[in-house]
Amino acid sequence: MRFYPEMKQFTYVTLLFLLIAGCKPGVPKDVIQPEEMAEVLRDIHLVDAYVGTLANVDSTKVKAASYYKGVYKKYGIDSALYTKSLNYYQEDPRELDKLYTVILADLNASKTAIVKADSIAGAKIANDIRQKMRRDSTRTADSIYWKTVLLRDTATRKKDIIQPRLIYKYLR
């Protein structure tokens, strides 16, 4: 059998196309895509962390199941698709490593934002406490002043009550 030049070109083009199509890197369409999978895994890990803090073991399973259902509903997936996608990413360590790099960066950014907000709130609370202490110290100083004035005043009044002629003076 003899190959014609056109047939050789067609064979080479077909082989090249098959090699390129067969080696195409990427995530299959029937699993959750990496960007969304990173968000799903982040939320799943946050649920796991929260459930781990619960004390009552019996109700923990019920609460965990409802939280997981909430995560699945948020992303429009079900547990079967999540499990299938997780198995796919576990078979490809490089993809899983990329996912966890994104997840850790997102969690660190969230932590930084929380710490910053907490420090701002803490500074505001500390400022409010300082202001209250200043007002209280002012009130204390004022109250000491007014106590001495009132005590002096009551001491004078007692004298006035004791001395009838001063009472007549005030009555006129």
pLDDT tens, the chain, 172 aa long: 555 666 677 777 776 665 565 555 677 888 999 999 999 999 999 999 999 888 887 788 888 899 999 999 999 999 999 999 999 999 988 999 999 999 999 999 999 988 888 888 888 888 888 887 777 666 555 566 656 655 655 545 555 444 455 544 545 4
Residue 10, in any domain of the structure: no
pLDDT of residue 160: 47
pLDDT of residue 45: 93
Residue 18, in any domain of the structure: no
Residue 11, in any domain of the structure: no
Residue 135, in any domain of the structure: yes
Which alpha helices (H) appear in the chain, and where do they start and end?
5-22, 34-53, 57-75, 79-91, 93-162, 164-171
Alpha-carbon gap, residue 128 to 121, rounded angstroms: 10
In angstroms and rounded to an integer, the radius of gyration of the C-alpha atoms of the chain is 39
Range of the domain at 143: 126-172
pLDDT of residue 79: 93
Are residues 93 and 43 both part of a single domain?
yes
Number of structural domains found in the chain: 2
Are residues 101 and 132 both part of a single domain?
no
Residue 94, in any domain of the structure: yes
Q: Among residues 50, 73, 107, which one ends one of the domains?
A: 107
Residue 9, in any domain of the structure: no
Are residues 102 and 136 both part of a single domain?
no
Residue 161, in any domain of the structure: yes
Alpha-carbon gap, residue 90 to 115, rounded angstroms: 32
Are residues 36 and 81 both part of a single domain?
yes
Are residues 87 and 145 both part of a single domain?
no
For tokens 């259902």, the residue is 69
If we measure between CA atoms, which residue out of 92, 93, 91, 107 comes closest to residue 41?
107
Are residues 35 and 96 both part of a single domain?
yes
pLDDT of residue 123: 82
pLDDT of residue 12: 73
Are residues 77 and 40 both part of a single domain?
yes
